[in-house]
Amino acid sequence: MDSHPKADTPPTIYDVARRAGVSIASVSRVLNGRDNPRPATRDRVLKASAELGFVPDGAARALSSRLKHVVGVVFRRVYGTDDGGTFADEAESLLFGDQINRGIEIVAQRYGYDLLVCSVNIDERTLPNRIMTIAGKCDGLILHDQVLSPAGLAAVARVAPVVSLAGAGGGDVAVVRSESADSMRELARHLVQDHGYRRLAYIAGHADSPDNVVRGRSFADEARALGAECLTGPAWQGDYSAAGGVEIVRGLISLGATLPRAIACANDQTALGVLYALAEHGLDVPGDIAVTGFDDLPFARHLRPQLTTVRQPIQEIGAQAFEVLHSMITTGQPASTTTEAAADIVLPTRLIRRESCGCPPDPATPSWRRLV
């Protein structure tokens, strides 16, 4: 341990070079694992570097190598509509987004990348600017659903490689999403054929979410094709939040509407809200009304009743997103499977039948929420 008069400025590669008695090129080579330097040189450099506590400057490295080894991740901060306190902390719950980020991070680390995260409030005025700033600080961006309009997406894509999650893609924007149509059709079949429900409804998510559109249409089409009725429309327009689900059910009930026998929700959170509102009015699920979600977030199987839902490989989505982005970064732009358009990856989903649709409970799922 030596202690040089602790310069006010951190040591640079020059300091290391001087101390080791070599050129900065050699230092760089050693530190980057090139095999040119011979052992003796390598050792001296390593020693000097350690003694100085040298840490290469990321900015300089990035500028020189044209690679920052940083990917930007932008997701929407959820400010749930405050429903009198019940779901006021919904924004604080771990949702979809955080899990995807975890997936991204895990793979990113394997490639030596770090995440520059940025949660935005959708109605921010300066949003485009902020995203551009982020873009300047990383090699590529992964944008969650609902953070930018297709036009905005295209604009960003002109600046850096972009992967959009479950959002609108096209142009140079790659997309990673999960299958929605088949599983929603399967859900409709399950509800209509297996349980015999004839009157269904679909509570939509954000109207401009491609995923939501597909889910709603597939579900409704299949249900109707099987001779069942499926309510949709403005009265069933949610916003992916639990509060939204509560709103809709309360509204319908207060209007004296006859609720359908089964309600399929655009996502688990909405289903959570629906479950709450239904319980509030003494309605039994699935006895009186069946409810289903989409996502299969961890809490889905801890609810009472356990939520029937469609499982998305959430972390896998993040992982895939990074893989795609990484290939775009290294190969230069669009990175596609084989064609020359941007990639569009669709991950498989699976219908998870639990109690809320009317199926028997799974005794193998313990839960403290069922006990306390």
Partner DNA sequence: ACCTCAGCTGTAAGCGCTTACTCGTCGAAG
Partner DNA sequence: CTTCGACGAGTAAGCGCTTACAGCTGAGGT
What is the contact surface with a copy of itself in residues (CB under 8 A)?
Answer: 8, 10, 53, 55-63, 68-70, 84-87, 89, 92-94, 98-99, 102, 105, 109, 112, 114-119, 130, 132-138, 155, 158-160, 242, 272, 275-276, 279-280, 298, 303-304, 332-333, 365-369, 371-372
Supply the minimum distance, in Å, between the C-beta of residue 260 and a copy of itself. 20
- Which of 46, 51, 65, 157 is the binder for DNA (CB under 7 A)? 65
32 binds, among a copy of itself, DNA, none (CB under 5 to 8 A by kind): DNA
If one asks whether residue 26 binds DNA (CB under 7 A), the answer comes out as yes
Q: Which does 29 bind (CB under 5 to 8 A by kind): DNA, a copy of itself, none?
A: DNA
Distance between CA atoms of 126 and 217, rounded to whole angstroms?
34
At residue 323, what is the residue type?
E
Q: Which is nearer to a copy of itself, 61 or 199 (CB)?
A: 61
Number of helices (H), then strands (E), in the chain:
13, 12
Least Å from the CB of residue 124 to DNA: 23
Query: Could you say whether residue 61 binds DNA (CB under 7 A)?
Result: yes
Contacts of 338 (CB under 8 A, 6+ apart): none
* Binding partner of residue 207 among DNA, a copy of itself, none, CB cut-off 5 to 8 Å per kind: none
Backbone CA torsion sign across 31, 34, 37, 43: positive
Residue 338 in tokens: 């084989």
Cα–Cα distance measured from residue 223 to residue 369, given in angstroms and rounded to the nearest whole number = 33
DSSP-assigned letter for residue 237: B
Which of a copy of itself, DNA, none is residue 13 near (CB under 5 to 8 Å by kind)? DNA
On the CB side of 75, how many CA atoms lie within 13 Å of its CA? Answer: 21
Question: Does residue 123 belong to the site contacting DNA (CB under 7 A)?
Answer: no
Q: Cβ closer to a copy of itself: 67 or 181?
A: 67
Torsion of CA 23, 25, 26, 27, to 10 degrees: 90
- Closer residue to a copy of itself in complex, CB, 34/77: 77
Q: What is the Cα–Cα distance from 59 to 14, expressed in whole angstroms? A: 16
User: How big is the site for DNA, counted in residues (CB under 7 A)?
Assistant: 30
From the list DNA, a copy of itself, none, pick the one residue 12 interacts with, judged by a Cβ distance below 5 to 8 Å according to partner type.
DNA
Q: Closer CB to a copy of itself, residue 86 or residue 232?
A: 86
* Residue (18 or 69) nearer to a copy of itself, CB: 69
CA distance 240 to 207: 10
372's contact among a copy of itself, DNA, none, with CB below 5 to 8 A by partner kind, is a copy of itself
Three-state SS at 367: coil
Q: In the numeric block, which tokens belong to residue 242?
A: 């639990």
Determine how many CB atoms are found less than 10 A away from the CB of residue 159.
12
Angle, CA 82 vertex, CA 76 and CA 83 arms, to 5°: 130
Question: Edge-to-edge, what's the strand order for the sheet holding 290-292?
Answer: 229-231, 199-203, 262-265, 290-292
Residue 69 within binding range of DNA, rule CB under 7 A: no
How far is residue 312's CA from residue 296's CA, in Å, rounded to a whole number? 7
Which residue, 135 or 321, has its beta carbon nearer to a copy of itself?
135
| 333 vs 336, beta carbon nearer a copy of itself | 333
Judged by beta carbon distances under 5 to 8 A according to partner kind, the member of a copy of itself, DNA, none in contact with residue 24 is DNA
Q: Which residues here bind DNA, judged by CB under 7 A?
A: 9, 12-14, 21-29, 31-32, 35-38, 40-41, 54, 56-57, 60-61, 63-66
